[in-house]
């Protein structure tokens, strides 16, 4: 989404001073990881262009009719989309008793809030009636700084802290499938965080540039627990998987599959090379005593079956 702002300051009837700024781009979007449908909030605003000042009545005449309409005939933010209105009603206002003035932007978005010297300064709201996005935030010298919340047309929303138009600090992103809480660093969810999915899976651990990556723990809806290395939202690397019957596998994983050398404990302990697959609500674990590749289901492997209604998503 590209948003261009035009701000007007009128000093006297015969002398108008226009400060025209063009802010190149505001992006309030989500970065998606195909494997786990991770959405990441992102906002970027580059430096504004130099001021253009018009001081004479002669210079003003060509622009007066155009610019005097901006903000003059706006008395509301416009009608919100149904899903935006639903979330807005559910969450309530981020800031109470906002006062200020309306500005109609050239892209037809509407800002309402505090304005000082022709700049957004303080708390306010901005609505894009055509696209549907609703932003509530705090501005310092025309920069989004402090607490802010964006509600998207589909009902997703992000609430968190910003510094100079960039998400920095604690935040929370919520959509129909999950909610993610953690620390955003330069627009990217980074470090320790928590992801709670509607299907019952809970992840606690490390994120890297918006993705589940590093070391963490999954508590799955099927009552199994994984602790160890994670990559792109999946069990990957070395870790420990505790099954819901209290047996466990400790060893190597690849893309949510048991694959590689490891140890399986179920009263007795067996060590070797393992491979797994999931189908028909059953996890099939194949155990080999030799690392030499062999055909699955051959006489050279031992099969262990686990009945699981759900797989490790």
The whole-angstrom separation of Cα 264 and Cα 255 is 19
Chain mean pLDDT for the chain:
78
Q: How many Å apart are CA 4 and CA 81, to the nearest integer?
A: 22
DSSP state of 53: -
Q: What is the pTM of this model?
A: 0.74
- Nearest Cα residue to 44 out of 163, 148, 179: 163
Give the domain CATH number at 5: 2.20.110.10
CB atoms within 10 A of CB 77: 17
- Number of domains forming the structure of the chain: 2
User: Among the listed ranges 63-77, 168-182, 187-201, 287-301, which one has the minimum average pLDDT value?
Assistant: 63-77
Same domain (yes/no): 184, 53 = yes
Per-residue pLDDT band at 87 (split at 50, 70, 90):
very high
Strands 134-140 and 225-231: unpaired
Are 207 and 61 in a shared domain? yes
Full domain range(s) for residue 45: 1-214
Task: Tell me the mean pLDDT in the region 18-45.
Answer: 35
* pLDDT at position 110: 87
Q: How far apart are CA 241 and CA 246, in angstroms?
A: 10
Mean pLDDT of all residues in 19-30: 34
114-173 per-position pLDDT tens digit: 988 877 889 999 898 999 999 999 989 888 899 999 999 999 999 999 999 889 999 999
* Boundary residue ending a domain (214, 245, 267): 214
Binned at pLDDT 50, 70 and 90, residue 2 comes out as: very low
Show which of 148, 180, 214 is a domain's final residue.
Answer: 214
229 and 208 co-located in one domain: no
From 164, 190, 214, the end of a domain falls on 214
First to last CA, the chain: 32
User: Where is 86: in which H helix or E strand?
Assistant: helix 82-91
Q: State the Cα–Cα distance between residues 52 and 120, nearest whole angstrom.
A: 18
**Are 27 and 120 in the same domain?**
yes
What pLDDT does 254 receive?
95
Q: How far, in Å, CA of 127 to CA of 103, rounded?
A: 11
pLDDT per residue as tens digits for the range 281-306? 999 999 988 776 555 655 578 889 99
Range 22-37 burial, b when 16+ CB lie within 10 A, else e: ebeebebbbeeeeebe
């Amino acid at each position: 989404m590209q948003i261009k702002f035009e701000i007007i300051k009128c000093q006297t009837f015969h002398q108008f001073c226009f400060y025209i700024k063009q802010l190149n781009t505001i992006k309030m979007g989500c970065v998606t990881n195909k494997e786990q449908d991770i959405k990441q909030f992102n906002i970027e605003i580059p430096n504004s262009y130099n001021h253009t000042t018009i001081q004479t009545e002669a210079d003003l005449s060509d622009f007066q009719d155009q610019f005097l309409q901006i903000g003059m005939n706006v008395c509301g933010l416009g009608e919100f989309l149904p899903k935006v209105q639903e979330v807005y009603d559910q969450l309530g206002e981020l800031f109470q008793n906002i006062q200020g003035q309306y500005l109609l932007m050239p892209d037809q978005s509407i800002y309402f809030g505090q304005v000082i010297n022709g700049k957004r300064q303080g708390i306010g709201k901005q609505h894009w009636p055509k696209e549907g996005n609703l932003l509530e935030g705090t501005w310092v010298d025309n920069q989004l700084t402090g607490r802010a919340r964006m509600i998207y047309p589909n009902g997703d929303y992000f609430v968190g802290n910003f510094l100079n138009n960039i998400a920095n600090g604690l935040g929370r992103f919520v959509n129909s499938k999950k909610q993610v809480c953690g620390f955003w660093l330069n627009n990217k969810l980074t470090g320790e965080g928590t992801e709670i999915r509607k299907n019952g899976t809970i992840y606690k651990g490390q994120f890297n540039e918006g993705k589940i990556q590093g070391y963490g723990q999954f508590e799955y809806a099927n009552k199994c627990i994984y602790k160890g290395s994670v990559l792109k939202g999946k069990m990957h690397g070395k870790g420990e998987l505790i099954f819901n019957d209290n047996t466990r596998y400790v060893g190597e994983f690849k893309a949510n599959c048991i694959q590689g050398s490891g140890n399986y404990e179920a009263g007795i302990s067996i060590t070797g090379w393992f491979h797994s697959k999931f189908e028909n609500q059953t996890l099939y674990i194949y155990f080999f005593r030799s690392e030499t590749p062999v055909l699955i289901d051959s006489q050279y492997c031992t099969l262990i079956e686990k009945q699981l209604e759900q797989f490790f998503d």
